[in-house]
Amino acid sequence: MSSKICVIGSSNIDQIAYTQNIPADGETLFGDSFQMGFGGKGANQAVMAGLLGADVYMITCLGDDVYKEMTVTNYEANNVNTDHIQMVKGASGVAPIWVDSTGQNRIIVIPGANNEIDAQKAISSMEEIGNISVLVGQCEIPMEVNHEVFKFAKNNSVTTIFNPAPARKLETEFLEHISWLIPNENEFELISGMEPSDENFLKFNKEVPCNLIVTLGEKGAVLVHENKTHYFDAPTVEAIDTTGAGDSFIGTFAYELSESNSPEACIKKAVEKASDSVTKKGTQSSYN
């Protein structure tokens, strides 16, 4: 039996429009195709870990709309335990996404029920699950919930991974509860106030009480550790849709870490999976 991974975070329905060019202000364009799928950074990361064979538990919040049962069914189909999903009245989260001909995406997240997740219920769920090896979180639920849940995890010797997306400043007190902080380049720049570079990666790493990995898109990722940077190159692929690639990285890294592999081995596998995901359309539908 694999070690237990708990993901606390968002569940969204992705509404993806594929188009040659993104419309300018006031402009209407015909798109190429439309696809609806399951998303939310927390959901994506849980599904990626589940597909790899992890024992994954999802703590999220859904509304009482048409998307609720679809979302639960999708989790179960992808090896993610749904016993600890919270339910509230109102709308579930949605994310309209535009993807242009280069594979680049623009996303608007409308959190809905994700904003209603209850921290104490989440902690009770973690106590009930028991013996959690790794906790994964992101910024698509209220940060006060993350503060309480990650503090509980750290106090109970759970390895914690935090993906600061969408990007926002993080309090030092919160970072003390994080084992692995994994932003992408843009998120690194916002939370650190510095441009991505070796010098700034090392400087920021000295300022935070946690391990640091920065994902670099088609350039792979960098591990910042013991006053050194270790780069992991990504394979050259033809990118069709980059949506969800970062979440694929996080889910894979969490699984590999829960299996007690070295950080270097975990990152190498995560880069491979993320690179593979951009060669297919969709978010979770691009994972394997």
The token pair that represents 37 in the structure block = 């799928």
Written as one letter, the residue type at 214 is V
The one-letter amino acid at 189: E
Is the pLDDT at 1 greater than 90? The verdict is: no
Q: Is the pLDDT of residue 282 over 80?
A: no
pLDDT of residue 124 exceeding 60, the answer is yes
Look at residue 95 in the predicted model and tell me its pLDDT.
Answer: 85
**Strand ranges in the chain using DSSP code E only, listed in sequence order:** 4-8, 12-18, 33-39, 55-59, 61-62, 80-81, 86-87, 93-99, 105-107, 132-138, 159-163, 180-181, 211-215, 221-225, 228-232
How buried is 96 (Cβ within 10 angstroms: 0-12 exposed, 13-18 middle, 19+ buried)? middle
C-alpha span between 214 and 106 (Å, rounded):
20
Residue that wins the pLDDT comparison between 188 and 105: 188
Percent of the residues in the chain that have a pLDDT greater than 90, as a whole number: 83
Q: Please determine, for residue 77, whether its predicted confidence score (pLDDT) is greater than 80.
A: yes
Q: Which CATH class is domain 4-23+32-281?
A: alpha beta
Percent of the residues in the chain that have a pLDDT greater than 70, as a whole number: 100
Quickly state the pLDDT bin for 14 (edges 50, 70, 90): confident
Half-sphere exposure of 203 (CA within 13 A, CB side): 12
**97, two tokens:** 């996404």
54 with 254: CB under 8 angstroms? yes
pTM equals: 0.90
Question: What average pLDDT score do residues 129-134 get?
Answer: 96
pLDDT digits (tens, 9 = 90+) for 175-190: 999 999 999 999 999 9
Distance CA 232, CA 271 (A): 8
pLDDT averaged over every residue in the chain: 94
pLDDT of residue 103: 82
Q: How far apart are CA 179 and CA 181, in angstroms?
A: 7
According to the model, what pLDDT value does residue 229 have?
A: 96
Asked if omega into 164 is within 30° of 0 (cis), the reply is: no
pLDDT tens, residue by residue, 22-59:
999 999 999 999 988 898 999 999 999 999 999 999 99
What's residue 285's pLDDT? 83
Integer CA distances (angstroms), 232 to 45, 46, 64, 187, 200, in order: 20, 23, 43, 19, 18
- Residue 93: what pLDDT? 94
Report the catalytic residues.
247
pLDDT above 70 (res 162): yes
Report the first-to-last Cα separation within the chain, whole angstroms.
20
